Amino acid sequence: MKSDAFIGAVYAGVLAAIVSSVVQLGPILIGVQTISIVVVAAGIFLPIGQIFTPLGIILGIIGHLIIGAIWGIVLYAIFYIFGLDKSVQKGLLLGIFIWFFGTEMMRWNTTNYIIWGDIEQVWKLIHDMIFGTLLGYLVPQLAMQGASKAYPSGLLERNLIQPAYKPTPESDGNKNDT
């Protein structure tokens, strides 16, 4: 039975979000980090006073998993266009981009809970790098089974490695077209 690539990319994003959040619990439990990414995700949906309620934690978890699924689809599209070579490294670079993008989104007030501290930003960067690396490993495993290593669709080759001018039958070889 052939697997659905879209569903596989969603599964990869959700699984990477779960694992990276569980890994994030370690620094929180030993006291070197104070804020979970789930709290930031809850701030997207709720005002600051409701983030730490049971409803806030549930919405934060759901929001974090949805965002993970979206990034799984984004990485699938990146692999579809640019190929599977060095997928873990591409995932790591995506994780660094996610950290930068998330930090900027917080500054644009897309969430009611903003991480400003330096140490918290470092831990968010570590979390996002783990998340991206996991995505880089999981998306090819769950969404791209059977794809070739380089350019599974040929999309990039078809669009970029074609002649700029394609002669039409009317203009092909007729130099007397005046």
pLDDT tens sequence across 135-178: 999 998 888 876 555 544 555 555 555 555 555 666 555 555 55
Residue 82: per-residue pLDDT: 81
Rounded percentage of the chain residues whose pLDDT exceeds 90: 28
Q: Are 79 and 90 in contact (CB under 8 A)?
A: yes
User: Please, what is the Cα angle at 69 between 64 and 72, to 5 degrees?
Assistant: 125
Rounded average pLDDT over 67-80: 91
Residue 40: per-residue pLDDT: 82
CA–CA dist 129, 107 (Å, integer): 20
- Type of residue found at 113: Y
Residue 43: per-residue pLDDT: 84
Contacts of 64 (CB under 8 A, 6+ apart): 17, 21, 37, 38, 41
Residue 18: per-residue pLDDT: 94
Residue 68: per-residue pLDDT: 93
Residue 151: per-residue pLDDT: 46
Domain boundaries, the chain: 5-155
pLDDT tens sequence across 47-64: 888 888 889 899 999 999
